[in-house]
Amino acid sequence: MQWETVIGLEIHVQLATNTKIFSGAATAFGAAPNTQACAVDLGLPGILPVVNEEAINMAIKFGLGIDAEINKVNVFERKNYFYPDLPKGYQTTQLEKPIVGAGHVDITLADGSTKSIRIHHAHLEEDAGKSLHEGSFNGEHGMSGIDLNRAGTPLIEIVTEPDIRNAEEAVAFAKKLHSIVTTLGICDGDMSQGSMRFDVNVSVRPTGQKAFGTRTETKNLNSFKFMEAAILKEVERQIDLIEDGGTVIQETRLYNGDTGEARSMRSKEEANDYRYFPCPDLLPIIINDSRLEKLKAEMPEMPDAKKARFIADFDLSDYDAEILSADQATANYFEATVRASDDAKLSANWIMGELSRSLNQNSIAISASPVTADMLGGLIKRIKDNTISGKIAKEVFEVLWQGECSTADAVIEKKGLKQVTDTGAIEAMINEVLANNAQQVENYRAAEKDKRSKMIGFFVGQCMKASKGKANPGMVNQILKQKLDG
Ligand code: ADP
Ligand code: MG
């Protein structure tokens, strides 16, 4: 039987506010346990929350960024459950009246096709603390520790409609969402620190069937790679199960990215009744038109608009434009390189080639690249004006990367890499190569005309070698032809 996969995602995005959603405690990552938790975050008796207006603004910007309705009256509710890292005994979240209503995120797939994924809604909530179990807690054994630094960190939870049909679409969606929130500057996008966490709801149904199958939810995937692997594994598990006569049960599952193992966490029967009710300590959030207009005016250029502009202004391919507009830092670097070099195509090639290879190999973010956009632009200028060949340019890039010089011109000067364009010098070199390879010259002249263009490559190679790559390849080609054919 043929099966179709149905996927809906729920994504927790940590908002990049300085302080927590209901308290003045700092949100910075990596502080010593419980040094960034105040009375509110500890849930001490008598505490009263105060809403962080910046978190509200960021949620509104997200809504504007996905063409969503903003709910001008939205309400915080209490979701009641017990867990040691939730000292208040409830999470403050939104249910009936979330801040962001229906919207959409559009994705581009590898075959160039596009698809719009509907967003059901997005709501504001607070994060819980962290339980540190044996081994990870001060080296103590048989004990667990609670770190409440993360308690009260502002989150938006984004819920998609079940519009996604396979792992590739899920990853494209996740990357697009990452691009949207980092462009808006509402999230630092650092997935390794948990700034974006994905829950994937997966079901399968026979191809052609209208009704959805029973879904499972795999929680807390914090990399695109893990998400893809978890989906592929769960789809296979469900199909195998059904084909063997079993049925999928609705359950919450865990996936361990390091071991690639998945297991059930709890079934629907064990699910909590959260007894939601509007939080009596917090007034409804009322968003007036002037606030909305002010935030609209602050909106940056969104990735889709940026991509369209890159295609129109710089004549980039759809593929190149997609990659270069995907995150703000890459887009900024690209535009600065174009300004410095005046050549968009070469800038695109170098950024997606040599630069990104070096950044990946060394796990360095583009914003921290040792070769700045100005440096790369200066290098590209020298390729364009024929001072150096593309091949020598890679050598120059390497020296810039190592930090030995701070401009391409300084490297070219210091290492004597300037391209040889002096006709006399090139002719002398060619004469020597031809004299040293008399047999090949004879073969060449004896060959049919249409075979010759292939054979000339040998002589070009010898000349480039003799000049240590510095001879102008175009001139070498031209003079060689004259001498051999003429
Ligand atoms: P609940 O009310 O139990 O939270 P929702 O209807 O809000 O469930 O859906 C939660 C998430 O699961 C959404 O992202 C939704 O798109 C997705 N989802 C719902 N039904 C299915 C299904 N049959 N298969 C895959 N995903 C689904
Ligand atoms: Mg729901």
| pLDDT tens figures, 180-220 | 999 999 999 999 999 999 999 999 999 999 999 999 999 99
Q: How remote is the CA of residue 159 from the centroid of ligand 1, in Å?
A: 8
**Residue in the structure block whose two tokens are 């020597």:** 432
Tell me, yes or no, whether 318 and 230 share the same domain: no
The structure tokens listed for 154 are 């502002």
377 CB neighbour count, 10 Å cutoff: 21
pLDDT higher than 70, residue 432: yes
Last residue of a domain, one of 249, 266, 292: 292
CA angle centred on 358, ends 357 and 360, rounded to 5°? 65
* Ligand 1 proximity of 369 Cβ (cutoff 6 Å): no
Residue at which a domain ends, from 415, 447, 474: 415
Domain boundary pick from 387, 415, 443: 415
C-alpha 39 – ligand 2 centre gap (Å): 30
> How far from 126 is each of 12, 33, 79, CA to CA, in Å?
10, 18, 11
From 9, 157, 159, 163, the mutation candidate for ligand 1 (largest count of ligand atoms within 8 A of CB) is 159
Quote the ligand 1 centre to 162 CA distance (angstroms).
Answer: 6
Co-location of 38 and 151 in the same domain: yes
CATH number, domain containing residue 450 = 1.10.10.410
Domain that holds residue 447: 423-485
pLDDT score for 59: 98
Pocket mutation for ligand 1, best pick of 201, 266, 272 (most atoms within 8 Å of C-beta): 201
Distance (Å) from CA 382 to ligand 1 centroid: 55
Closest CA to 481 of 448, 444, 442, 437: 444
* pLDDT tens profile 365-399: 999 999 999 999 999 999 998 889 888 999 999 99
pLDDT tens readout for residues 401-420: 999 999 999 999 998 888 88
Q: Per-residue pLDDT tens for 299-311? A: 999 999 999 999 9
Q: Which atom of ligand 1 is nearest to the CA of 212?
A: 23
pLDDT range class, residue 19, cuts 50, 70, 90: very high
Q: Residue 237 and residue 240: Cα distance in Å, rounded?
A: 5
8 Å CB contact between 285 and 77:
no
Q: 87 and 127: one domain?
A: yes
Q: Where is mean pLDDT largest: 42-46, 202-206, 439-443, 481-485?
A: 202-206
Q: Which pLDDT score is estimated for 138?
A: 62
Substitution candidate for ligand 1 out of 215, 231, 247 with most atoms within 8 A of CB: 215
Residue whose entry in the numeric block shows the structure tokens 């195998």: 240
CA distance 12 to 14: 7
Q: What total number of domains does the chain contain?
A: 3
Question: Is the pTM value of this prediction over 0.85?
Answer: no
